[in-house]
């Protein structure tokens, strides 16, 4: 098992960083996608404030494995029709 570092950035607060011990690079990629999905599931409203959410995965030595980025855009004809709760 190897240690992998996961770092998220939603463009609002400080980036979050944590580690997982996983058996392979492929498992680290899968874990990155699942974790980013869980973060959006917990607070999906954040992505609409900044328009993006990112997850970077590194080896313990700092070598990049993958970057995941989700971009949120609203269809032009809906802008102004969706209420902004101001948060």
In a domain, 36, yes or no: yes
Q: How many residues does the chain have?
A: 87
Domain span including residue 70:
2-78
Give the total number of structural domains in the chain: 1
Q: Which strand (E) or helix (H) includes residue 55?
A: strand 52-59
In a domain, 57, yes or no: yes
In a domain, 87, yes or no: no
In a domain, 86, yes or no: no
**pLDDT above 60 for 33:** yes
In a domain, 65, yes or no: yes
What does the pLDDT look like over 35-53, one tens digit per residue? 988 888 887 777 888 888 8
In a domain, 74, yes or no: yes
In a domain, 67, yes or no: yes
In a domain, 32, yes or no: yes
Q: Bridge partners of 17?
A: 7
What average pLDDT does the chain have? Answer: 86
Q: How distant, in Å, are the alpha carbons of 4, 13, 25 from that of 63?
A: 10, 24, 11
């Amino acid at each position: 098992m190897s240690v992998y570092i996961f770092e998220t950035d939603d463009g609002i607060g400080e980036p979050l960083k944590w580690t997982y011990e996983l058996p392979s690079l492929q498992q680290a990629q899968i874990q990155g996608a699942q974790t980013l999905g869980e973060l959006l599931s917990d607070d999906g409203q954040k992505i609409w404030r900044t328009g993006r959410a990112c997850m970077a995965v590194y080896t313990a030595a700092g070598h990049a494995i993958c970057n995941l980025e989700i971009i949120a855009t609203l269809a032009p004809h809906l802008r102004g029709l969706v209420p902004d709760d101001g948060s």
